[in-house]
Amino acid sequence: MTINELRNECDGRLNEAGISDHLTDSMLLIMHVLNVSRDHILAHGTDPVEDDKAEKLLELVRRRCEHVPLQYITGHQEFMGLDFAVNEHVLIPRQDTECLVEEAMIETGDGMRVLDLCTGSGCILISLMKYKNQIDGTGIDISEKALEVASLNAEKNGVEAVFLCGDLYDALNKEPEGSVSSGSRFDVIISNPPYIRSDVIPTLMEEVKDHEPGVALDGGNDGLLFYRRMIEGADEWLIPGGCILFEIGFDQGDAVSGMLKDKGYRNVCVVKDLAGLDRVVKGHKRI
């Protein structure tokens, strides 16, 4: 088969399976399997494709037809201009989350100690460390498998972060005294935690509800469980005057900023994303 014939075949199968971005996805899958650019595909449509490559491509298309997210199939997602490895153990980095990293860049000075809770693929901590100087970064996640991905991403992007496994701040208490993470508080605490209400999860896209890790999505009955716990623990782990920043759902701005104000945080504000939706809440701990 030629490249064009394969493209038509893949596109047809994806369309039939109800994949909304079938044209884009068939193009990206062909680029991935042939390891060539979009321009190459467009310019060499009549070139023949070797049988083993065609077979591999059709196998990947079969997975995409089952609504496996494209990024889990190719194993990559770009975030903040960097390449991140992903698999089914981590949430796929979203462009919306770049808004959180941009706010964190404003709040973070060179050399600060930063704690990223629910680090997942590590995309937030790693991009912050990449774009700032000498950040002492610690990432925590409850999933060992997620941390394997985060460590790989730190290495790929040339940053040296410490990754700890555990349930939020518990991971820090487990550290032996005198080790990198024991004792000292953080200048900045950041997180994109699970924040979707449990009853909303069944209504999400198949790609998300059936394939992304539920543990990275479910924020409990009101979606706010992790914000409550992270703010509580910041009493102990954030320095006075330190900044806490969270990604939030579009309708959680009032609730989460209210929690910070109740605790006496200063300069509490809600930041909108590029779509104009509430996306980040941040504030500074009382001095």
Q: Residue 124 CB, nearest distance to ligand GLN (Å)? A: 5
Minimum distance from CB of 123 to ligand GLN (Å)? 5
Nearer to ligand GLN, 26 or 119 (CB): 119
Q: Any idea which residue has 């896209």 for tokens? A: 205
- Nearest-approach distance from CB 79 to ligand GLN, in angstroms: 8
The minimum distance between CB 140 and ligand GLN, in angstroms, equals 10
Establish if 49 lies at the interface with ligand GLN (CB under 6 A): no
Site for ligand GLN in 167-206 (CB under 6 A): 192-194
Q: Which of 11, 30, 72, 93 binds ligand GLN (CB under 6 A)?
A: 93
Q: Is 69 in the site for ligand GLN (CB under 6 A)?
A: no
Cβ 281 vs Cβ 254: under 8 Å: no
Length of the chain equals 287
Task: Draw the binding track, 246-285, toward ligand GLN (x: CB under 6 A; -: no contact).
Answer: ----------------------------------------
Q: What sign does the CA torsion over 31, 35, 36, 41 have?
A: negative
Q: Report if residue 123 touches ligand GLN, rule: CB under 6 A.
A: yes
Least distance from ligand GLN to the Cβ atom of residue 282, Å: 15
Alpha-carbon dihedral angle through residues 25, 29, 31, 32, given to the nearest 10 degrees: 140
Distance CA 83, CA 28 (A): 16
Handedness of CA 232, 164, 144, 148 (dihedral sign): positive
Q: In this complex, which beta carbon is closest to ligand GLN, that of residue 194 or of residue 249?
A: 194
Which CB, 5 or 96, lies closer to ligand GLN?
A: 96
Rounded to the nearest 10°, the torsion over CA 260, 266, 272, 273 is -80
241 class by beta-carbon count within 10 Å (0-12 exposed, 13-18 middle, 19+ buried)? exposed
